[in-house]
Amino acid sequence: MSNFVKEAFGGKSIQATPFSLSHLYEAETTSSDPILFIISPGSDPSSELQEYADKIVGRAAFHEIAMGGGQNEIAIETMK
């Protein structure tokens, strides 16, 4: 299967690129684009996100809300 995919994509690697929060923010979004993280068990980008937000915008301008369990109203008010 791997050889088939490589051939179909012209011999390019099919390895996933490592996630880079700075690349996502700087190259793939604008300052007005919300970024939604959908995580799976064992995956939690919270600490990396908090550190990056502290560096870029400061802790006061960064708001993190875990969705679910009635958090939708809080999220809407925070976005306003």
Q: Is residue 3 part of a domain?
A: no
Q: Is residue 10 part of a domain?
A: no
* Domain housing 45: 20-79
Q: Is residue 30 part of a domain?
A: yes
Count structural domains, the chain: 1
Q: Is residue 15 part of a domain?
A: no
Query: 16 by DSSP, 3-state: which?
Result: coil
Residue-level pLDDT at 12: 67
Phi and psi (nearest 5°) for 60?
A: -65, -25
Q: Is residue 64 part of a domain?
A: yes
Q: Is residue 4 part of a domain?
A: no
- The pTM of this model reads 0.54
Q: Which amino acid is at 39?
A: I
Q: Is residue 1 part of a domain?
A: no
pLDDT, mean of each 10-residue run, the chain (80 residues): 76 72 86 80 84 88 79 83
What is the rounded distance in angstroms from the CA atom of residue 80 to the CA atom of residue 2? 47
